Structure 1
C-alpha cells in the first residue's frame, strides 16, 4: 500500500509504452491521470463507470487499469474479475481516498498489483503504473517459462514412453525367443508357455490385479517358467518312461537353475518370482524353498493355478485332456493345499462366467 506525495512526474523507469485504462468518476482526477501517463509515453483512455470500463475492455486489450474503488454504478474492484486480469494480461492498480487497510489487503489478495491512497501526485501515478507493468511482465515471463518447462517435460515424457514401449517390445521378443529355445529340448513346452501366460493374465485380472508392471512380470515369468529345463540332461527330460527318484530330484532343480540363469538380467527381476517359485504349494509342501501361504509371491500363486489348468485342459502323453468342469473341480479340490483359496475363488467365478457365456452363444 502506498501513500501519495507531491513529487513531480518521473521518467518512465523500465516500463515500455502501454495501453492504460483510467477508471474514475471524478473528471479532474481522470483527466490528470490520462495526461501524465500520456506524457510518460503510454496510451491512456478514461472511463467514468464500471460499465464504461467493461465496454473498453471488451473492445480493446489493455496492459494496465488504474481504477478508483468507489464509482457511481459499482465498486471498481469488480474489474479484478475480468478475464484479462485473471490471465495476468492486465495489471490493476486500485486507488481510494477513503478505503482503509482491510480493503487494501482484500484487493491485493484478489489480484491487484498495488493499492494507492488518493490524492495522487503526478509522479506517483506514473510510478505505480510502471511498477505494476513491470510486475505484470515478470509474471508473464514466469508463466511462459513455466509453460515451456511443462512442454519440455511433457515432450520428454512422451519420448521416454515411446522408448520404453519400444524397449519392452524388444524384451518381449527376446523372452519369446528364449521360450522358443525350450522347444528344442521339450516339444510340449513352448505352446504350454504361451498358453499358461495367457491363462495367468486372465486369472490375475479376475483376482483384481491390474498393475501393469505386475502383469508384465507375470507374463514374462510364465513364458520363461521352465527355462531352467535347458540345464536338465536330455536323457532325463526326454525319457519315455517313469523317472527314478534320483532323476526326479534332478528335474526338481530346474526352478533354481532358471532363477540363476536370469538373475543377472535386470529387466527380468520381477519375473524371477514365477521362475523360482512356480512349484511352491500353498501348504508349504512344494519346492525349492518350501514357502507357504502368502509367503509365496502372488505372481507365483496365480501361475501355479494357470499351469495346472493348461496341463489338465490340453492333456499329456501320460493323461487325457479333461473337460472344463473336471478342471474346475480339480482346482477346487486342491484349494488350500496346492493353491491359494482366494485366487481359486476368483478363478472359479471368472472361468465359470466364461463357460456360461460360451454355452449361451452355442
Structure 2
C-alpha cells in the first residue's frame, strides 16, 4: 500500500504517519508548515518521524526510506497534481486544514481557502488519478444546532454555527458528488475532540495543561457547563488505519469516530490536576458565539461496519498526555 497523508506535520497527521511507517507502509506526507501555531512543534513532529526540515529544501526522505515528506500547500494545484501523477497512491488521507473554531470567528476567509478550495484540489487530483480510497477529516462540529444526543450520522447536520463547521460539512457534500460522479470511494470521519501527546497548543487540553503547570488561571466558558466526547489520539489513528484496510460496499461513507462517552469539562480539568499534582485556578466565563455546549458520539455505524471501537478512558488518556507535556517542555 502506498498512502499520501496531507497535514503530515499536524497533530493527527504526525501520529498516523508514525504508525504507518512503523508498519512498513510506503508513505508520502505533505504539509505547508504554516505559522497558525508553533512551527517548532511541527518541525519536532517531523523530526520524530525522521525528517529534518530546513528553510530551503522542499523534498525530504527519511533514513528508513519508506517516508517521503514534501512542503506543499493544498492550494498549489499544479504541484499537487504533479505529485499524484508521479505516484500511484492506493489511499489518500486528507488531514490538512485550517483548524480551530474560535479562530474562524476572526479569520473566516482562511477556512474557505484552506478547507474548501484545498479539499477541492485533492478531489480534482483524485478525479484525474483515482485512488482506491480517499479518507478525509470531518468534525463533530457539523452537528451545529442539532440538540439530539448522542450525535448519530443519521441525524441532521445542515445547521453549522461557525465557518469551520460549515467548511467541514461542505467537504462531505463535495466528497459525495465526486464519489458519485467519478467512482472512487470517499470516507469522511467526524472527529470528536481529539487530544493527546504532541497536540495542538490552541486546543483546550494543551491550554489547560500550560496554565496548571505555570500556575496561571484557566478560562472555562459557559461557566464550566460543557461536555466533550474526548477521544485519545491513539484511538483516532487506530480507527483511521482500520478504515484504510476496510472494503466498503458503498462509494460514499461518513462515520463518527469518538470515545462514545461525554465527559464534563470540569472533570477533565480535575484529571489534569491529578496528573500534574496541582490545583487549577479557574475563571468562569460566558459561552463564545459559535461554540457547542455538548458533544457525544454515536459510534455504532463505524463499529458495525469495520469492527472498530475506541477504548482509552479519559483518566488514562489525560495521564499519558500530561506525562508527555511535562517531558517535552522539560527537554525544551
> Which TM-score bucket, shorter chain as reference?
under 0.3
Larger radius of gyration: 1
Higher strand share: 2
TM-score normalised over the length of structure 1: 0.21
The structure with higher relative contact order (CA 8 Å, sep 6+) is 2
Flag the structure with higher helix content.
1
How does the TM-score come out when normalised to structure 2?
Answer: 0.23
